[in-house]
Structure 1
Amino acid sequence: MSAKPTDRRMRALALLEQLEPGASGRVAKNLDDFNPEAVEILLGFGFTDVVARGGLPLKTREMLTVAMLASMGTAPGQLEFHMRAALNTGASHDEIVEIVLQVAVYAGIPAAMNAITAAKSAFTSR
């Protein structure tokens, strides 16, 4: 079931598409299949209300997201997606490597090892 195309939903999906071409359709279908309001609630908050704010460039926001997801160590699919998104918004291969090394210092070697796996996959997909 597809949800009503509100402005907030459309802005969230447009930003998601900017992060990774083709992602908005896949994610919207997945969330709509769960609940017609999920895109509005989850992506509306995350992307429209927070990520789209001024104050930090999108590249910086994605690099921060990579560091946080890598440190959490519990969201490998999201980590790999946001590594690709960071690359798509201008982060370099070397910047991703430096983020992972920083994660090793502050979140531990296991978190960094998981992040290395995600990074290798993200690098290969490009």
Structure 2
Amino acid sequence: MDKQRYERGWEKLMEIDGEGGQRVIESLKEIAPDLGSYVVEFAFGDIYSRGGLDLKSRQLITIASLLTQGGCEPQLTVHLNAALNVGLTPAEIVEGIMHCVPYTGFPRVLNAVLTAKAVFQERGVTGPGAASRE
């Protein structure tokens, strides 16, 4: 393990995901601790720590990538929480998800919107609702 990469990644993970990220890494310790290290070192120590994009942009891209794959609702939940943590509003998140409809299709976008709805409800934040249509 590269201690500097891990420490840089852990700091970035805590900045973005906080307790949710910590729970993910903890959940891997008994079954696949190396996978947890890879997530911290590579995804957060190398990729999320790069310059060029702010954390809001990175989270919108991550959300779009996960919803496009489909079947990633647990990971989508983590990153929807992260998006709120880094300052994206529910309206921005939903707009980003809706932007994927022509490229991904309704079923995956509907799954993502319903996942976002559950995250918003859990966090006690208000979704954009009908007011977002302009």
Contact 2:48/2:58 (CA < 8 Å) preserved in 1? yes
For residues 87-107 of structure 1, what are the alpha-carbon distances to aligned partners after superposition, in whole Å with 9 as ceiling and x for unaligned? 110111111111121121210
Contact 2:21/2:78 (CA < 8 Å) preserved in 1? no
2:61 is the alignment partner of 1:96: no
Gaps of 5+ in 2: 124-134
Residues of 1 paired with 2:54 and 2:81: CA distance?
16
2:71 is the alignment partner of 1:74: yes
| Residues 80 and 35 of structure 1: CA distance in aligned 2, closer, same or farther (over 3 Å) | closer
- Residue in 1 that maps onto 2:16: 19
- Residue in 1 that maps onto 2:126: none
Give the fraction of aligned pairs with identical amino acids, expressed as a percent: 34
| Residues 106 and 27 of structure 1: CA distance in aligned 2, closer, same or farther (over 3 Å) | same
Residues of 2 paired with 1:36 and 1:6: CA distance?
15
TM-score of the aligned structures, taking structure 2 as reference length: 0.82
| Residues 45 and 72 of structure 1: CA distance in aligned 2, closer, same or farther (over 3 Å) | same
- Residue in 1 that maps onto 2:25: 28
Task: Supply the RMSD in Å over aligned alpha carbons.
Answer: 1.8
| Residues 32 and 5 of structure 1: CA distance in aligned 2, closer, same or farther (over 3 Å) | farther
- Residue in 2 that maps onto 1:9: 6
For residues 2-58 of structure 1, what are the alpha-carbon distances to aligned partners after superposition, in whole Å with 9 as ceiling and x for unaligned? xx7923222222212112221343222222212333232233111111111001001
Q: Out of 106-115 and 40-49, give the one that drifted further.
A: 40-49
- Residue in 2 that maps onto 1:55: 52
- Residue in 2 that maps onto 1:124: 121
Contact 2:59/2:83 (CA < 8 Å) preserved in 1? yes
Aligned length: 123
| Runs of 4+ off more than 6 Å | none
Q: Out of 37-46 and 63-72, give the one that drifted further.
A: 37-46
Residues of 2 paired with 1:71 and 1:28: CA distance?
24
Residues of 1 paired with 2:84 and 2:21: CA distance?
17
